[in-house]
Amino acid sequence: MGARPIALMDPLRFGPLDDARSRWIAEGVISGGSGYGNAVGVPTVGGEIVFDQTYQGNPLVNVLCLGVLPTERLVLGRASGVGNLAVVLGSSTGRDGIGGVSVLASAGFSADDDGDKRPSVQVGDPYEEKRLIEACLQLLDEGLVVGIQDLGGAGLTCATSETASRGGVGMDVDVSAIPRREPGMEAHEVMTSESQERMLAIVEPDGLDRVLTICERWEVRAAVIGRVTDGGALRILDGFGGEVLADIPATSLHEDAPLYDRPRSEPSQPPGPSADDLPAPADPGADLLDLLVDPAWVYRQYDHQLFLNTVVGPGDDASVLKLRHPTTGAETGRGLALTTDGNHRWCAVDPRRGTAHVVAESVLNLACVGARPLAVVNCLNFGNPEKPEVMWQLSEAVDGMAEACDAFGVPVIGGNVSLYNESAGSDIDPTPVIGLLGVVDDLRRRPPGATLVDGHRLVVLGPEATSLGGSLWGAAHGAPGGALAPLDSDLHLRVADVVRDLVSGGLVDGVHDVSAGGLGVAVAEMVVRSGVGAHLARIADHRTLFGEGPSRVVVAVDPERLTEVLAIAETAEVPTVRLGLATGSRFIVKGLLDVTVDEVVAAYTGRLPEALGVGTTNR
């Protein structure tokens, strides 16, 4: 499209930490992601990592990439101009990745055919990718490209049909002209290979020599493989003028492709017992420590300071980058904020409301760094949609996302799906992952982050209504069921506005949204980040301590500003609870728990490195 990649985020989900294979997969994914991202020169500035039984057979690796471009450089994946040339740029085509996304997204595995259907993994080369990025950007800067598209799922079949369909044209493709890295490849293998680091560019014949010169400069392979035609047919040829191997309307593989209308039915059984029916824990302090996991070891494998643009990096509610002019590189004084969020427990209980809660959490995460939301993308990770219960989950989740985005005034500008995530007949919990982009209007004041200051007051902004349904605490005790707390969209927007104003105005010295694990985990994470203890009251029981619900944020406030902060919230009709005091070396919740800061830090920072057999995180 003409954008320079400036940041990556990687929401990751694996099987339980006590499973050796899940740990092995996690280590491999993290190593591969960090090695490729660091080498290609794009910082990974955040993401998520989740370990849960539901992903033991089907780990999820989602990636979000953010880019910036001057609007005049925008070029779409659209072919136009009869006689223009289709040029494939980048790596040669091999058998790696044949039947990858195109198979995995459209069929399930059984125990018998698991090995037969599993595709070969694409072989990535980050240095080839870097050269390809630079070559494409120069081609776009010089106006040499009419249309451009990456080669992803189904490779050239998808790229040629989509670009032709969008432009209302046809295309002749000479399969024999496509550079290959392996001998003896069949035409269908060449057309469906998902080999990495490849682009399809539509260029005018008069500009071809300059295109080839630029590609030679960047050591990027370029080959003319086709031409734009009229009539709308996508033809695959064995040499121009040779045998016609396929002749099909391009739109039939794109806009006119068949639409599924599968049966849908609500599951007859809840995901499990309700956490609301569990007795009070004998030791809430021990329960709290068991819920804490620090993702720092993961994100420290990535270089999140490439380009020196990262203002707020991994570990906070959202990441913030400097927004530089895409041509001159000059700082604008504004920032881009980015967050990814998902919660399979909420969505297993109620896909519609759970997905809306995830969108709401993303909005609040951006508010915690002083950002206004601009646009949503998503990845919808679900099980086998041929099962009516899974199709119902998918339909409900899409409706929930649409309703929430409409209520919050945020457009959905893109996304993708990952279906058939099942193993041995068991589907993953519905896992819609939301990526939300926002803007920080003034970067002169850095967001305070999830920290505490000794002597400051802790205040909860937002409603008191919570639930143990779908909660982290409930799942840890074998009771993932129940009902979710309600979402009041109007109140949520007011909370987000107040939080954004408090952060932007420098009126709070610590801020953290309340999400998985409830108030207990939220404050514990602030304790870890600061090394300062907390003495809390007005938490009646474990339901208040571990209950989860939308629209809640903990802020740390200087006592001299407390009256002003409470007045701002009251004016906006945002409920508040004065929770307690940041002080000392213990985390105390009156009548419920009393643990040392050292115990909280050890539990939080030690669990993941210990399970993976790596060094303990230092903070």
Is it the case that residue 611 has pLDDT exceeding 90?
no
Angle between helices 20-40 and 126-141 (to 10 degrees): 40
What the block records as the tokens of 438 is 């926002």
Structure-model confidence comparison of residues 259 and 132, the more confident one: 132
Instruction: Report the candidate in 51, 581, 52 with the shortest Cα–Cα distance to residue 294.
Output: 51
Is it the case that residue 114 has pLDDT exceeding 70?
no
Cβ burial of 488 (10 Å; 0-12, 13-18, 19+) is middle
The rounded distance, in Å, linking the Cα atoms of 607 and 593 is: 21
Q: Give the percent of the chain with pLDDT over 70.
A: 95
Phi, psi of 74 (to 5 degrees): -65, 125
Is it the case that residue 530 has pLDDT exceeding 80?
yes
Confidence of residue 617 (pLDDT cuts 50, 70, 90): very low
Residue 329 has a pLDDT of 87
Q: Record the pTM.
A: 0.94
Q: Which residues contact 279 (CB under 8 A, 6 or more apart)?
A: none
Average pLDDT over residues 432-461: 96
Q: Are 25 and 59 in contact (CB under 8 A)?
A: yes
Confidence of residue 619 (pLDDT cuts 50, 70, 90): very low
The rounded distance, in Å, linking the Cα atoms of 323 and 26 is: 32
Residue 101 has a pLDDT of 59
Q: Compute CA distances 394 → 59, 376, 386, 543, 596, whole Å.
A: 18, 18, 11, 30, 44
**Tens digits of per-residue pLDDT, 464-516?**
999 999 999 999 999 999 999 999 999 999 999 999 999 999 999 999 999 99
Q: How big, in percent rounded to 5, are the helix, strand and coil portions of the chain?
A: 35, 25, 40
- Tell me whether strands 198-203 and 510-513 are parallel, antiparallel or unpaired: unpaired
Confidence of residue 75 (pLDDT cuts 50, 70, 90): very high
**Tens digits of per-residue pLDDT, 234-246?**
999 999 889 999 9
Instruction: Report the candidate in 429, 435, 462 with the shortest Cα–Cα distance to residue 346.
Output: 429
Q: Which residues contact 309 (CB under 8 A, 6 or more apart)?
A: 6, 7, 43, 321, 322, 324
Average pLDDT over residues 556-564: 98
- Return the SS3 of 62: coil
- Tell me whether strands 553-557 and 510-513 are parallel, antiparallel or unpaired: antiparallel
Supply the mean pLDDT for the chain: 93
The rounded distance, in Å, linking the Cα atoms of 31 and 259 is: 38
**Measured over all CA atoms, what is the biggest interatomic distance in the chain, rounded to whole angstroms?**
84
Residue 17 CA neighbour count, 13 Å, CB half: 15
**Tens digits of per-residue pLDDT, 378-423?**
999 999 999 999 999 999 999 999 999 999 999 999 999 999 999 9
Structure-model confidence comparison of residues 306 and 615, the more confident one: 306
Q: Residue 415 carries which side chain, given as an amino acid letter?
A: G
DSSP letter for 93, please. Answer: B
Residue 342 has a pLDDT of 98
Identify the H or E element spanning 523. helix 518-530
Residue 300 has a pLDDT of 86
Confidence of residue 302 (pLDDT cuts 50, 70, 90): confident
Q: Which residues contact 225 (CB under 8 A, 6 or more apart)?
A: 86, 87, 88, 156, 173, 174, 175, 177, 178
How many other C-beta atoms can be found within 10 angstroms of the C-beta atom of residue 509? 18
Is it the case that residue 100 has pLDDT exceeding 70?
no
- Only one residue has tokens 């409930």, namely 474
Structure-model confidence comparison of residues 445 and 350, the more confident one: 350
Q: Compute CA distances 158 → 85, 379, 417, 472, 599, whole Å.
A: 17, 19, 16, 40, 54
The rounded distance, in Å, linking the Cα atoms of 146 and 154 is: 22
Instruction: Report the candidate in 198, 91, 81, 90 with the shortest Cα–Cα distance to residue 147.
Output: 81
Residue 305 has a pLDDT of 81
How many other C-beta atoms can be found within 10 angstroms of the C-beta atom of residue 242? 11
DSSP assignments along 121-165, one per residue: PP---HHHHHHHHHHHHHHHHTT--SEEEE--TTHHHHHHHHHHH
Is it the case that residue 122 has pLDDT exceeding 80?
no
**Tens digits of per-residue pLDDT, 184-233?**
999 999 999 999 999 999 999 999 999 999 999 999 999 999 999 999 99
The rounded distance, in Å, linking the Cα atoms of 553 and 534 is: 16
- Tell me whether strands 147-150 and 593-596 are parallel, antiparallel or unpaired: unpaired
- Only one residue has tokens 């950002």, namely 371
User: Beta partners for 312?
Assistant: 320
Residue 618 has a pLDDT of 46
- Only one residue has tokens 């995830």, namely 358
Instruction: Walk me through the domains of the chain, giving residue ranges and CATH numbers.
Output: 4-68+267-612 (3.30.1330.10), 75-253 (3.90.650.10)
Instruction: Report the candidate in 316, 347, 490 with the shortest Cα–Cα distance to residue 60.
Output: 347
Average pLDDT over residues 521-538: 97
Region of 205 on the Ramachandran plot (φ > 0 left; ψ -120 to 50 alpha; else beta): alpha
